[in-house]
Each structure stands twice: as structure tokens, then as C-alpha cells.
């Protein structure tokens, strides 16, 4: 069988809609605006991606963990929500699939939203012009990358 431990979820239905107080410090806005039943690393990453924040995965992961750590010590947070935060942190430390999930979330964050045209792509006309310049001996580049006279003679002949 597999050693993968299932991702923790809040079990107390009474607190499914619970959110951290807006005035709480050292806790990311995600936990203040998303219901506790939806708290997960994947939800956090998607939330940040919607904000178009340019944070790397390592930074996101640290913010997520730091916020959960803070939730664990806030006495105003219901005990079952604090227990959930503690279980989630333990799961992040213990589970064997964290690396795979981290890589998947990292790929999700770093993937471009819209495919962009590479700056190194050339049209057929540009390639044809370059090929013609190389075969007829004319050179339009910088003198420093032209090479020695012998190199130029070899290219011409």
C-alpha cells in the first residue's frame, strides 16, 4: 500500500465558515477572507495566483506555514481550528508527497498565463535573409563577432 497520508481537512462543520479576524497580525489575508473549510496549500496558491502576485513558491510556502503557525497560538481561534492548523503543519512535515505537490504548485505558479512569442523566433523572411547574407559573403553584424580574416574567407568560399 501507499505511505501517503491524506491531506487534513477541518472536521468540525460548526466552523466550516470560520475566518480569521481581519485585525489579526502576521496572518495572510487568505485566512481572513477564505472559509476554514477551504484552507489548503493548493487553495492558497490559487488565491495568490488570482492576485497576480510575483512571489516564488518558496516565499508562498513560507507565508502559508507562518500563517498556520500563528493560527496555532492565537487563543481567540477556536480549538478545533487550531488543531486543524497543527495537523496541517504536521502533515506538511511528515507526508511523502509534499515534494511532488510542491513541484506541481511551483509549476502552476511559474507557468505563463498566456503563451508568449519567444523573442528568438524568426520569420521565414528573416531566416532567408540571414541565410543569403551568410552564403554571399556580406556581413551586417558587429565587427567584434565577425571573426578573423581567415574565418571570413572560409565562410565566403
Residue 3 lies in a domain: no
pLDDT of residue 139 exceeding 50 = no
Number of domains forming the structure of the chain: 2
Same domain, 52 and 18: yes
d(CA 89, CA 137): 66
Same domain, 20 and 94: yes
Range ranked top by mean pLDDT from 24-28, 103-107, 121-125: 24-28
Same domain, 104 and 129: no
Same domain, 101 and 134: no
Percentage with pLDDT > 90 across the chain: 37
CA dihedral defined by 111, 116, 117, 119, rounded to 10 degrees?
A: -80
Residue 117 lies in a domain: no
d(CA 128, CA 114): 29
Same domain, 103 and 29: yes
Same domain, 105 and 128: no
Higher pLDDT, 36 or 102: 36
Look at 27-36, 46-55, 127-136 and tell me which has the smallest mean pLDDT.
Answer: 127-136
Percentage with pLDDT > 70 across the chain: 62
Same domain, 128 and 106: no
d(CA 25, CA 126): 57
Structural domain range at position 61: 13-110
pLDDT of residue 71 exceeding 90 = yes
Residue 118 lies in a domain: no
d(CA 21, CA 29): 10
What are 19-41's pLDDT values in tens digits?
A: 999 999 999 999 999 999 999 99
Amino acid at each position: 500500500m501507499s505511505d501517503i497520508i491524506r491531506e487534513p481537512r477541518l472536521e468540525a462543520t460548526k466552523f466550516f465558515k470560520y475566518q480569521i479576524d481581519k485585525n489579526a497580525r502576521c496572518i495572510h489575508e487568505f485566512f481572513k477572507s477564505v472559509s476554514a473549510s477551504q484552507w489548503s496549500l493548493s487553495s492558497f496558491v490559487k488565491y495568490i495566483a488570482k492576485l497576480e502576485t510575483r512571489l516564488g513558491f518558496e516565499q508562498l510556502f513560507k507565508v502559508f506555514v507562518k500563517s498556520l503557525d500563528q493560527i496555532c497560538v492565537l487563543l481567540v481561534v477556536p480549538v478545533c481550528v487550531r488543531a486543524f492548523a497543527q495537523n496541517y503543519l504536521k502533515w506538511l512535515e511528515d507526508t511523502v508527497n509534499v515534494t511532488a505537490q510542491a513541484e506541481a504548485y511551483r509549476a502552476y505558479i511559474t507557468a505563463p498565463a498566456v503563451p508568449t512569442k519567444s523573442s528568438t523566433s524568426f520569420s521565414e523572411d528573416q531566416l532567408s535573409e540571414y541565410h543569403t547574407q551568410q552564403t554571399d559573403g556580406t556581413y551586417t553584424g558587429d565587427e567584434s563577432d565577425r571573426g578573423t580574416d581567415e574565418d571570413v574567407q572560409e565562410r565566403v568560399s
